[in-house]
Amino acid sequence: MSRPTPKYHPIATAYAQELVRNHQAATNIVLWSGWFCPFSQRTWIALEEMGLPYQYKEVNPYLKEEAFLAVSPKGLTPGLKVADKALHDSSIINEFLVESFESHGASLLPKDPYLRAQARLAIDFINKSVVPAYFRLLQAQPDNPTTQAEARREFTVALGIIAQQRKGKFFFGENISLVDIAIAPWAVRDFIAADYRGFQRDQVPSWGEWAKVLEQHPTVQKTSSDASQYVQFNGTFLKNEAHSSVGRAAQSGQAIP
């Protein structure tokens, strides 16, 4: 028997709602996104930072259009189409945008090859350590305090490792980079771990200050929806009822797809 489709708000709210309205006109760049998706928010922030024209298309995570699946075969947001070129995976998309439109808007990666390599290492750590730990913490149930405490410790340690590498206001200093963008959606969403799983920002060296900078940054704010909607959408994680490949991967300890 098929599982019931979880209820969720179908459109962006708050600042993000206005941004969606302003990006409905057809253009060469199309962002297939989900307002609820932290990975989508990464690419959304990058597009805004670079000042690139784009069309925003909202994806229903439980009813995926064929046109979207042609862009993202696994059905995961974000997907990006530039003319006839299609890409998926937020980290790959964001680096593609920087390399393809480097003279357009903000520079989101250092010019120095070594520092660029450091950025890639940091993003890889966020993807493989911070993000899976966050979702495992949300799925750790109150009736198993030992498992929940271990998940909380894992998330706290991972955040501390990356936060202490920051060299200024942002990861590389005074300007936002792809590293900051990679973790910004979790600065927006770590309140869920705090409210429901006992996570405390002030127990993570350097994270509280960095998270505050990120969540108050203009492009992060305007790509964010109401906090209550994030809580509602993450209800399946909080109940450990995985309906997505992200949830199933977190449950099994695998890498987040």
- pLDDT, the chain, mean: 93
Q: Is there a single domain that holds both residue 241 and residue 133?
A: yes
Q: Is there a single domain that holds both residue 198 and residue 239?
A: yes
- Indicate which CATH number applies to the domain containing 42: 3.40.30.10
The predicted model scores a pTM of 0.94
**Nearby residues of 88 by Cβ (< 8 Å), 6 or more positions away:** 71, 72, 73, 74, 76, 78, 79, 80
What 3-state DSSP class applies to 56?
strand
- Which tens digit of pLDDT belongs to each residue from 19-57? 999 999 999 999 999 999 999 999 999 999 999 999 999
What mean pLDDT do residues 101-123 have? 92
Q: Is there a single domain that holds both residue 144 and residue 239?
A: yes
- Which tens digit of pLDDT belongs to each residue from 47-96? 999 999 999 999 998 888 999 999 999 999 999 999 999 999 999 999 99
For residue 1, what pLDDT band results from cuts at 50, 70 and 90?
Answer: very low
Q: Is there a single domain that holds both residue 94 and residue 187?
A: no
Q: Is there a single domain that holds both residue 141 and residue 179?
A: yes
Q: ∠185-39-89 over CA atoms, to 5°?
A: 150
**Nearby residues of 185 by Cβ (< 8 Å), 6 or more positions away:** 38, 39, 41, 42
Are the C-beta atoms of 24 and 53 separated by less than 8 Å?
Answer: no
**Nearby residues of 81 by Cβ (< 8 Å), 6 or more positions away:** 29, 30, 32, 71, 87
Q: Is there a single domain that holds both residue 70 and residue 42?
A: yes
* Domain that residue 201 falls in: 113-252
Q: Is there a single domain that holds both residue 95 and residue 127?
A: no
Residue 106 domain flag: no
Which tops the pLDDT comparison, 79 or 3? 79
**How far is 88 from 71, CA to CA, in rounded Å?**
7
Q: Is there a single domain that holds both residue 169 and residue 232?
A: yes
Tokens of 21: 């309205």
What mean pLDDT do residues 5-30 have? 92
Residue 220 domain flag: yes
Compute and round to an integer the Cα radius of gyration of the chain: 18
Q: Is there a single domain that holds both residue 138 and residue 30?
A: no
Q: Is there a single domain that holds both residue 91 and residue 144?
A: no
Are the C-beta atoms of 220 and 43 separated by less than 8 Å?
Answer: no
